Amino acid sequence: MKTALILNGPNLNLLGTREPQVYGSQTLDDVQTLCERACAANGFALEFRQTNHEGILVDWIQEAAKRDAAVVINPAGFSFGCVPVLDALKLLRKPLIEVHLTNIHQRPAPYTHSLVSQVANGVICGLGSTGYLLAVRAVAERLAGGAP
């Protein structure tokens, strides 16, 4: 069975309580439940993870590359200046979709330019948890050969 890793960066464990006026009221557990359903409906296994530690995220990305797995990533604060995460993402051969809950292009500096976008097959931002669902769909289409 095909596998997708959905990787979440720092502070996303606080969704629902951290700046709900910016990030909404859904928790990361709520997002995980949505993603589990979407992955099941699209016929692939899901591993959903979150870390506040750069090195752990790098390890997970390297693991995904070794397993030849697709990745949906919300790098959160690691988006904007974390070269080790960027370098690890360059190892991936399967689809890589970047997700942000907010529209980073409407945010103040330094939250407007993601390094991850340089290597992602697609970027979804500003749609809240719906962005994760669209990312799962994009991964499914790419794995099936239906999208460039």
Edge-to-edge strand list for the sheet holding 96-100: 45-50, 3-8, 70-74, 96-100, 122-125
CA distance readout (Å), 32 to 13, 48, 84: 11, 7, 25
Which DSSP string corresponds to 93-137?
Answer: -S-EEEEESS-GGGSPTTTT--SGGGT-SEEEESSTTHHHHHHHH
The kind and range of the H/E element at 46 are strand 45-50
- What's the pLDDT at 94? 95
- What's the pLDDT at 58? 98
User: Which residues are marked as active site?
Assistant: 23, 100
- What's the pLDDT at 21? 84
State the 10-residue block means of pLDDT for the chain, 148 residues long: 92 92 90 96 94 98 96 94 94 96 88 89 96 96 80
- What's the pLDDT at 109? 82
Here the tokens at position 35 are 């993603």
Q: What pTM was estimated for this model as a whole?
A: 0.94
Here the tokens at position 28 are 């990361």
- What's the pLDDT at 148? 61
- What's the pLDDT at 147? 67
